[in-house]
Amino acid sequence: MSDLSGQLIDNRYELLRILANGGMGTIYEGLDTRLDRKVAVKIMHPHLAQDEEFITRFIREAKAAASLSHPNIVNVMDQGWNQSGIPAVFLVMELVEGQTLRELIASKETFSVNETINYLSPVISALAAAHQIGIVHRDIKPENILISHDGRIKIADFGLARGTNLGQTMTAEASVILGSVSYLSPEQVQRGISDARSDIYSIGVMAFEMLTGKRPHVSDSPLQIAYLHVNEDIPKVSSKGIKIPKDLDELIYAATSRNPDDRPKDGATFAALLRNIQIKADPAKKQMSLELDLPVRQELPKPAKPAKPARRKEIVEEEVTREITREISKPVKKEKIEKPKRKFRKVALILAVAVGIGGWWSLIGPGARVTVPSLVGGTMTDAENLLNPIGLTSEISKEEFSEDLQKGIIISTSPAGGDKVKEGAVVSITLSKGPERYSIPMVAQLTVEAAIKVLSSIPIAEPVVQQIFNEKIPKGYVISSDPVMGTKVKRGAGIKLVVSKGIEQIPLVNFVNKSGEEALNTLTTAGFKVTPKYEFSETVPAGAVISQNPSEVKSYPKGSALSLIISKGSAYVFIPNVYSLSETKAKSVLTALDLQVTIKRMGTKAIKQVTAISPKVGSKVLRGSKVTITVG
C-alpha cells in the first residue's frame, strides 16, 4: 500500500507518519484536527477493502474494542469510510507511544519472575474483562501488547476477536492463517475453534518465553510450529533450569496444556490464581489490585559494592621496597688482600702448563669436540648439508604433528643446536608431519548408527544429529554432514549429521462447501499438489468446493496429490428482460449468461432496440442455449 502520510481522512484525521504495517492494514500516527490531539489511525489495505468479509472483520475489531471499557485495552474512538479524497476504510484509536512487548523481549532476552508477573498481570486483567462479556481476543502475542513510555500496558488489535455480540466469525482456516502460529492453541490449529481458554494458552506461551528467553516450539516452518503445538507438550519452565516458585511453574504449565479442560477457564480464574501466588509470596500484596492502570516498574540492577581501600597494600609494598633498597645500598667492607710475590710466580707457572695441556686435549687430542649447528626449521637436506662437512650424521628418531611447521620440517634435535659433541656423533631429529588433520569420510545415505560407526575411525567429537524432513531420503538415513565429505578437520573437531525424518506429514483440512480459491491457496501453500476441476452444480454456489479427494481430515505426506471439484454455479439461467435495450447492450447481457445470441433486424432506424425475444423472458434454459432477439 502506498504511503498516505499527509492525507486528511474524513475531513478530520491528518495522517502524519506510518507507525506499523499489519496483515489487515497500515497504522499511522495521526492528528485529530477537531480536538487537536494525537491518535492512531488504522487504514485497511485497498485489496482487502474490496472483500466484504474483511470489511466485516475490520468493523468487528472496532465493535469488540469499543464494547470494552478497561484501562489496559486500547480505546477505540471512531470508525468509518473516507468519503472525501482517497477511498479508505479506517479505524481511529488512542495513540500509545512507547514500544511493544516483542521489542522489550528482544532487548531484555529474559525476565525475572516479578517482572514477568508485573507485565502480564494488566494483560490478564484486561482479558478477564473481555471474557466476562463473551469476547475472546484469539491473537494474544507480544506484538499486540503495547507498553507506553511511562510503563502502562495496553492490549491492541481485537481484529480476530469474536463473541455473541459481534456477528459472524471468520472461517476456521482463515483464523489459523491470520493468527500468530507461535501462540495459537492446539484447538485453534486442529479444529479452528476457540474460547477464553485459547487466550489463556497464549498467555502461558508468552510467560514461558519471557522467563526462559525462548519460545517453547521453534522452527523455520509455521506449519511445523503448528504441528508441534498440537502434538507435543510444552515443558515446565523449571525444566529449563529457571528458578521459579513451584505454584507459578504449575500455573504456567496448566495454562499451556494441550487439553483446554486442564487450563484455567478464563482470564478471571487465571488472575485469581496468579493473585494467590503473589499473596503467598508477599502477604503485603493482599491490599493491592491487579486492575489499576499503573505503570510497570522495571527492576533496577543492584549497585555495585564499593571497592575495598587498597592504601594498606600500597604502604606495605612501599616499606618492602625501601627495605630492599637499604640492603642493596649498604657499603661493602674491603678486606685486606695479601700479595705474596713469590707464591704468585709459582701459581702462574702451573696455570700456563695446565692451559697448554687443556688446549691439546680439546683441539687435537682425545677431547676434541664439534659444535652442533642449529637445524630447527630446516629440511633433512639442509641438515645433511650442515652436518656432513663437520663429521656429523643425522637420523630421524620420530615424527610429530605440528600446527606451526609443515610436513618435512625439523621440529627439534638431540643434541640441540650449540651443544658440543664428538666428531662422528649422530644427531637425532624430530620431524614434522604437518598439521594433524583427518578427512571426513562419506556418510550420506547411511543409517545414523552406521554413520557414527564410520566416523569413530577418526578422532573427532561425537556427532551432533539434526533431523529435518526430506522427500527423497528415507527416515533415519543421513542426508549430509557438516563439514562435508573430504573436508580436513583437526582432532576433536565437531561434526553435524543432518538426518532425514522422512516425508513431512501435513494435516489436511476439508474444504467442501467452502471457498475454492481459499482451498487452492491454502492446500498448495501447505505442500499438497492440487488439481482443480470446475463443474456445474445446482446445489453448491459458484466458486465453492463441491468435492475433495482425499477428504478425510488427517495427515498426509507432503507433496500428496489432491483433487478439487469447484462449482461453476447452476447449469441453467433465466432469460432476462432486455426489451428496449440497444442491440449491443442486449447482446452483451445475454452473452454474459453463456447464451448464444441470434439477431433479427427490422425497420430502418439507425439505433435499433429490442422489440421481441425468444424464448420468452423468465424462461429457464441451459447455458449455451440459442436465444433470438428482434430489434427494430
Active site (catalytic) residues: 139
Residue 410 contacts residue 429 (beta carbons within 8 Å): yes
Residue 477 contacts residue 446 (beta carbons within 8 Å): yes
Three-state SS at 499: strand
Dihedral of CA 388/390/395/398: which sign? Answer: negative
Gyration radius from the chain CA atoms: 44
- The secondary structure element, H or E, covering residue 91 is strand 88-94
Q: How far apart are CA 247 and CA 249, in angstroms?
A: 5
Strands across the sheet containing 410-414: 393-400, 426-432, 410-414
E strands present in 521-560: 529-535, 545-549, 555-557
Q: Which three cell numbers stand for residue 184?
A: 495459537
Residue 176 contacts residue 188 (beta carbons within 8 Å): yes
Q: What is the 3-state secondary structure (H, E, C) of 566-601?
A: EECCCCEEECCCCCCCEHHHHHHHHHHCCCEEEEEE
Q: Which three cell numbers stand for residue 597?
A: 445470441
Q: In degrees, to the nearest 5, what angle opens at C-alpha 187 toward C-alphas 183 and 188?
A: 55
DSSP 8-state code for residue 233: P
Secondary structure (DSSP) of 405-461? S-TT-EEEEESPTT-EE-TTPEEEEEEE--S--EEPPP-TTSBHHHHHHHHTTS--P
Q: How far apart are CA 383 and CA 179, in angstroms?
A: 76
476-493 burial, b for 16+ CB within 10 Å, e for fewer?
Answer: ebbbbbeeeeeeebeeeb
Beta-carbon contacts of 485 under 8 Å, excluding residues fewer than 6 positions away, are 440, 441, 442, 443, 444
Q: Which three cell numbers stand for residue 38?
A: 494525537
Dihedral of CA 280/285/288/290: which sign? Answer: negative
Residue 45 contacts residue 25 (beta carbons within 8 Å): yes
Q: How far apart are CA 29 and CA 22, in angstroms?
A: 14
Residue 146 contacts residue 156 (beta carbons within 8 Å): yes
Beta-carbon contacts of 342 under 8 Å, excluding residues fewer than 6 positions away, are none
Pairing mode, strands 529-535 and 561-567: parallel
Q: How far apart are CA 600 and CA 612, in angstroms?
A: 9
The number of residues in the chain equals 632
DSSP 8-state code for residue 476: T
